[in-house]
Amino acid sequence: MNRFQEELFGGRSFVQFTLDEPLILGKPSLTINDNVVVELWDNGVLYFQPEGGARNHSILLSVGVHGNETAPIEMIDQLVTDILAGEVALRHALLIVIANPKAIKAGQREIDENMNRLFDGTLAVKDGDSPERCRSRLLIQYSRDFFGLEAHQKIHYDLHTAIRGSIYRQFALSPNPVDRLEIGHHCSLLEQWGIEAILTTTQSSATFSAFTAHSLDATSFTLELGSAKPFGSNDMTEFALVIAGLRAAISGDESLTIERKTAKRFYVAAEIVKETDAFRLLFPPDTVNFTPFNVGDVLATDKEFQYIVTKSGERILFPNENVANGQRALVIVHADDNDTENSL
C-alpha cells in the first residue's frame, strides 16, 4: 500500500473505499508523482490533472453502471492503484467514475432501475427518485464539469460486460457520427486492444456514452468486454490487451507493439421496445449476441406487434424480455455493407 493510497482511501483500494460509502466533504486533494494533482470529487469519482494544468486530452473512464459487471471494476481498481504507485505516468487529464456503488455493493445489476437508460440531461427531480436517478444526475454534472474544460480531444470509454455470451466476445458500440474526424483513429486503437466488432448507431439513447457523445461532444464508446461474473471469478488475462490499451491511452503512448486484427463492422438497424407485459422473444434464452437469423424468422411479439426478419444477415444484440415496459428489449444489427469481410 503506497502512501498516496493511504492518504486518499485510508489503506483501502479505490473500490473498497467507494463501497464503504464514505461521506465526502469538499474535494479532498493531494499531489502525487510527477506533480499530478488528484481530487476526490465524490464517492467513486476520482480526478487526475497532470502538472501545469496542460490538458492534451480529457479521458473519462466509467465502470459499474451495472453493479454485477465486475471485471471492468477490478480493472479500474488496479489502474488507480498503479497510478498512485507511480507505475503509470499520466499525460492526459483523467476522470474515473464508479457509477453505481449501491448496486455493486448489493451484487446486483441495479437497485431499482437500469442506470444506463437515465443519462438524460433534462431528467427532472421527483420525490422518491430511485438511487440510480439520483446518482445519474450527479454523474451528468461531473461529466459536464470535466469535459467543459479545455482539451484537445474529449474521450469517453464506458466499460461493461454482457449478460449473455457473444460470437464476438469483446465489442464496442459508438454513438458518434461515423464521419466524425476522430472515429477512424479510435477504431484502430480498439482493434489493437483486441476489440473484435465495432457497431455504430444513429438511434437516440440515454446511455452514458450517448450522453457524453451527443451533449458534451466527446468521442465515446461503450465497450462490452465479456460475460458478467461475480467478484473474484474473472480471469484478468482475458482483458490484458484492453488493460494495456487503457494504460497506454492515458500515458500518451497509444501504439501497442502487437499485430492488430481488423474488427468486424456493424450498424444498428433497429431497436425493439417492450411495450406491454405480453412481450416475448421467440428464440432460446441462451442465444448469444450477434447470432444471425433468416428472412421470415419472427424474433419478438407484443400485443399488437411482431418483428419479422426482412433482410438477410440480421443479427440480434442485447436481448432481454425482462426489462421494464417502455425500454429496449432487443437490438437488430446488420453488417456494414462497406465491410467486405462481413458481407461474404
Catalytic amino acids?
224
Residue 300's nearest CA partner among 317, 250, 77 is 317
Pairs from 340-343 (Cβ < 8 Å, separation ≥ 24)? 341/262, 341/264, 342/264, 342/265, 342/266
For every residue of 144-167, DSSP letters joined together read: HHHHTS--SEEEEEEEEEESS-BS
Residue 198's nearest CA partner among 231, 167, 223, 232 is 223
- The strand pair at 171-174 and 219-227 is best described as antiparallel
The span from the CA of 99 to the CA of 45, in Å, is 8
- The strand pair at 298-302 and 280-281 is best described as antiparallel
**Residue 88: other Cβ atoms inside 10 A:** 18
